[in-house]
Structure 1
């Protein structure tokens, strides 16, 4: 699975950018602020969701013009070539696959994209919400229908919380929303558990530490139990001003397996190595289930990796056969990998 062509228009710092790609890993280098992360962020929007920085569509337009942006790509996928386009429309964005309007969820059927960014280095020390997002992105990469299930649950949750904030006490208003939450929540929990099982089943990379993952949370996981817990918890939720039970309260726990140490207590370098290990495991699981390795976006990937681990990462990428877009400040950071080199500077993009 690979991009063979990428075009950007008025996206972030890029007025226009064009890349023709040959399927190999891509080393993107240039000074800080040149637009390297902007380039791979555009690629991340070829998958469901709001991309690797979680930005709203309005925030992606080049300033000061703010005339709207567009990303188009040609993709070589297991089921054949696809043309994908996404662009801003009002406060939202549109998607086309092979010239036909499509949902964001449908992007997962044409292209799988995983990423690792410097902001994710704090994953194990930040709040549970970031780890849930990481867990759901991982799950979505393996179970495409997870996106629609999560949307259904989140919509019902928002409506139930609105009733709570408005002080509504009529059971009839709550029942239908809680039924939707129970049904979707049970599927959400099952998908997450299945995704972690698939990660655990793939062979670990000996160069990176294995993480033991577990979903941490309270409350029932099956639909009937969750429905009853929501019903019984209405009084408590009204007092708290929000819904206190359900998979939206879950957390992702991780332990450095060889040491038996929680990830949050590991060193910065160990935490980075654990993240790399998880992304590689995720990529192998996608390759087993989808037939091809996903596209990888590895922003400033050499940070906190010594020369030996960097070489191990390059070997793992090549063994996967993955098209990995890797960013860094200089070409010397990518010695040892057969990669297409792209320089990013004031003049735009060019061969490195």
Structure 2
């Protein structure tokens, strides 16, 4: 999968930009604040419906603009072409697919992007929400019924939380929603565990190359409630405690997964650099697992490569992606030495982008 053409209007400092990336390596060079990250952010938005920048939702729209638009022409490895777009006016987002309005979930299913950026170490170091997003994005692209099941779970969760906040005590009001939560939670948990089992095979390969000093690796899943009871039984037993808190405290929406090593069993044992390399291993594994199921690699975005990895690991990462024949979009203040031979270079300055010949 690759972006053949990308057009952006009113996204941060990018006013009216059109870029035609190469199928392989593309490097966007410019000073800090020139708009390099925003280019990668635009592609990521098409794939996830959100930014990879923390707290970026209200800052996406260019100052003084009333709306922003992102448009891309995608080409799959089998030659199939799709036109995808995402626009925002005020707080309202609208997706388009081949010129027709479409749900954002359908847009996300058509455009697959994996991103490594300065915030990616949060996959290892931050709270569970980031890891659940990572996990569910992967499951979404493998299990096509996952989204509908997750929506059923969220709908039942919302109803139960409303009863809790209202202080309802009649068990009969809770039972239908707790039964629905129990039924959907079982399938969600099975799919997530199966995905992590597949991911572990590839994570093992990449950590052996990136952080061999840490020994063997394991991925551990915590389903969000205790193993001794079903979720339905757990929720029934927890009603009064949950009522005091005003929300449901156990279930797949509270799940987490962690990475542990033979010689670093706890996250706190990892250095900041080892956290970054572990995140790279997980992201590369997710990209390759996507390729195994979809028959093609996702688009790979790497923001500020030189500041995140040393030259040895830069070369290793770039070599892996080059061998996979993935389309890679990389930003930086300069072109890394490992890319100078075969990358298409673009210069970014004050929100304008031009190819370097």
Per mean C-alpha deviation after superposition, the further-off stretch among 94-103 and 260-269 is 260-269
Query: Which secondary structure state, in structure 2, belongs to the residue aligned with residue 350 of structure 1?
Result: strand
User: Which residue matches 1:96?
Assistant: 96
1:63-111, CA deviations, whole angstroms, 9 ceiling, x for partnerless residues? 122x111111000124511111111144221111112222122124322
Does residue 1:318 correspond to 2:322, yes or no? yes
Which residue of 2 is the match for residue 204 of structure 1?
Answer: 205
Question: Which residue does the alignment assign to 1:255?
Answer: 260
Correspondence for 1:214? 220
- Taking the TM superposition and a 5 Å limit, the aligned residue runs for 1:71-150 are 71-78=70-77, 80-150=80-150
5+ residue gaps in structure 2?
Answer: none
- Judged with a 3 Å threshold, the aligned counterparts in structure 2 of structure 1 residues 149 and 37 are, in CA distance, closer, same or farther, namely farther
The 1:177/1:241 distance shift into structure 2, 3 A limit, reads same
1:348 Cα shift? Answer: 0.5
Work out the CA distance in 1 between the residues paired with 2:352 and 2:270: 39
Contact 1:8 1:14 survives alignment (8 Å): yes
Please give the root-mean-square deviation of Cα atoms over the aligned residues, in Å: 2.4
Q: Give the secondary-structure state (helix, strand or coil) at the position aligned to 2:248.
A: coil
State the alpha-carbon separation in 2 of the partners of residues 18 and 250 from structure 1: 41
Distance change >3 Å, CA 140–CA 302, structure 1 → 2: farther
Structure whose residues are more often helix by fraction: 2
Instruction: Tell me the TM-score normalized by structure 2.
Output: 0.89
Q: How big is each residue's C-alpha offset from its partner over 1:25-72, in whole Å with a ceiling of 9 and x where there is no partner?
A: 21112111111111111111211432323667654211122x111111
Residue 338 (structure 1) aligned with residue 338 (structure 2): no
Query: 1:284 matched to which residue of 2?
Result: 288
Please name the residue that 2:17 is paired with: 17
CA distance in 1: counterparts of 2:307 and 2:222, whole angstroms:
29
1:96 is paired with a residue of what secondary structure? strand
Q: CA deviation at 1:220?
A: 5.7
Three-state SS of the structure 1 residue aligned to 2:103 is coil
Extract unaligned runs of 5+ from structure 1: none
Q: Check the 8 A contact 2:49/2:108 in 1, yes or no.
A: no
2:275 alignment partner in structure 1: 271
- Mark the CA change 1:89 to 1:310 in structure 2 (over 3 Å): closer, same or farther: same
2:186 paired residue number: 186
Task: State the alpha-carbon separation in 2 of the partners of residues 123 and 337 from structure 1.
Answer: 32
Contact 2:112–2:298 (8 Å) recurs in 1: yes
Normalising by structure 1, we get a TM-score of: 0.90
**For the residues of structure 2 that align with 1:157 and 1:333, how far apart are their CA atoms?**
51
Decide whether aligned partners of structure 1 residues 309 and 84 sit closer, same or farther in structure 2, where only a CA change above 3 A counts.
Answer: same
| Number of residue pairs the alignment of both structures matches | 349
Query: Per the alignment, do residues 146 and 92 of structure 1 end up closer, same or farther by CA in structure 2, a change over 3 Å counting?
Result: farther
Q: Summarize deviations over 1:102-136 as a string: whole Å, max 9, x none.
A: 21221243221111221222333322223222322
Among 213, 216, 236, which residue is 2:241 paired with? 236
Q: Distance in 2 between matches of 1:233 and 1:304?
A: 44
